[in-house]
Amino acid sequence: MNTTSDSLKNVFQARARLGESPFWHQQEQQLYWVDIYNHRVHQFNPVTGSHQFFDVGEVVGCIAPANDHRLIMAGRSRLAFLDTRNGTVTTILNIEFNDPSTRFNDGKCDAAGRFWFGSKCTKEANCSLYRYDPDGSLHVVLSGLTISNGPAWSPDESIFYLADSPLKTIYAFDFDKESGSLSNRRVFVDLTAELFYPDGLTVDRNGCIWSAMWDGYCIIRFDPSGKEMMRVKTPVIRPTSCTFGGEDLTTLYITTASVGVSEEEIQKSFYSGDLFSLATSTSGFPAHHFKG
């Protein structure tokens, strides 16, 4: 089943180079997302239309809510807190990468308040998935990745989902929510026959996965077994991620990118980089907070 782009609304003309990492802040009733290469963290109220952004001074791969008016963010090679009252960025820790092309990428917090984030690099199988715990400990959970994208959990937290975009694969793992460990890695969705790549993803209350397809002009919804249910066509070639938001969490917000889009594609994808919304018949979950 396909849904046409007429079902989508362009809700904010961000013109981002690389919009990513959207999350819905339930307490504030606001949407946050990043523009990775423009070094911006965006804050948007869809009811009032008010918007502001914070220039964090470096590449920012992902963000998640924390306490005390803060966000936790993964920059190029450091974790930091961003104070949303004044824009102050405070370093938590730095990580040295062997490959200078490596940087941090997509991430989220789990229900226990642990921050999960991955890295991306130009060399195949040279990146990792990390977990930063509220006690201040950092763990390499998974290695051998190329571009780690879209971490998410099933509604009962028993399954962890992760995409390695260049491999065109979304993986599923058994998740131990007490220890925060992964096991039993298997292929959840194999997209190697397609011309596009799975990017960021989210999970709805029915346990279905919504995945943005880079270079695919679409969002695909998969059922809990990995079977494709629906394609939502987008008017831009590079949707990057999605999350549920709004008062009842039934609106799917979609970030997009303009980076690397050819002049020919820009003519067809004029609104590349903007923020879109889609009214759905299901609902999602508010973002979990970092509890450190």
Enumerate the active-site residues.
199
Q: How many residues does the chain have?
A: 292
Q: Which burial class, exposed, middle or buried, applies to 3 when counting CB atoms under 10 A from its CB (0-12, 13-18, 19+)?
A: middle
Distances (CA, A) of 119 to 16, 86, 125, 127: 20, 28, 11, 6
| Coil, helix or strand at residue 9 | strand
Are 48 and 67 contacting, i.e. CB atoms less than 8 angstroms apart? no
Q: Cα–Cα distance between 125 and 144 in angstroms, integer? A: 4
Q: What is the spatial order of strands in the sheet that 181-190 belongs to?
A: 148-153, 159-164, 169-176, 181-190
Are 102 and 148 contacting, i.e. CB atoms less than 8 angstroms apart? no
| Coil, helix or strand at residue 209 | strand
Helices marked H in 4-133: none
Are 165 and 214 contacting, i.e. CB atoms less than 8 angstroms apart? yes
